[in-house]
Amino acid sequence: MIQQSSNINTVTSISNINNREPKKELDKDDFLNLLVTQLKNQDPLNPLDNSEFIAQTTQFSSLEQLINISEKFDKLIDNEESSNLNLFSAVSFIDKTINFYGNDFSADENGALLRFDISGTPATTNIEIYNDKGAKVKTVSVKGVDGSNTFSWDLTDDNGIKLNPGNYSYKVVAKDKDGNELPVRLSSSGRVIGVLKEGNSTVFDLGFTKVKPDEIISVYN
């Protein structure tokens, strides 16, 4: 019975070897195994020459470095191809309007609708509007609520003077009854006029600002 089991194991082992798919290329592990096997089976009376051994280990070190460089280069190519693919896919957003998280906005002759979310019940809510030079042009107090809020700005400054259409930004400060500042998240919207790459990231150009994909809330025609 023991002999029969041994034969079965031998047959199985041979079968596995025969079914094993041969490698088309040798890697650094194969090279190292060959080197170790050579050392284990060398003639004790005629060992491997030191200079020859050093040459082989040097070859192994060079092979390992080349393989590592090749792997890094392949990853770089994959990242570049993935980045280009994302860029080409993002082109379909051009001429579409997107809602996004951010405080930049573009005002036309009628002004602009500002949107923001407040986490908590505010006792006071103040909105500050700045022009494209960073100068404050408007401060207004509104009645904020917990959740979604909107404010329609008529493009006038603190003196009631009509300003020119253009690019602006805004800030919202909401405080509770104890004077503690509440978390506020601002959002805006605009039409996508272009798509570009910044590093390995794809961004959407709205003219007055650039928006990253993870900042987009919604997209519509």
Write the CATH number for 184: 2.60.40.4070
**Spatial contact of 144 and 151, defined as CB atoms under 8 Å apart:** no
Kindly state whether residue 109 falls inside one of the protein's structural domains: yes
Would 130 be classed as within a structural domain?
yes
Q: What is the pLDDT of residues 161-177, one digit of tens each?
A: 999 999 999 999 999 99
Query: Does residue 82 lie in a domain region?
Result: no
The boundaries of the domain holding residue 158 are: 93-220
Q: Mean pLDDT: which of 62-76, 125-139, 188-202, 204-218 is highest?
A: 125-139
Residue 210 inside a domain? The answer is yes
Q: What is the pLDDT of residue 134?
A: 95
Is the pTM for the entire model greater than 0.75?
no
CA dihedral sign, ordered 85, 89, 93, 94: positive
Q: How far is the C-alpha of 14 from the C-alpha of 36, rounded, in Å?
A: 24
The pLDDT value recorded for residue 108 is: 94
Domains contained in the chain, number:
1
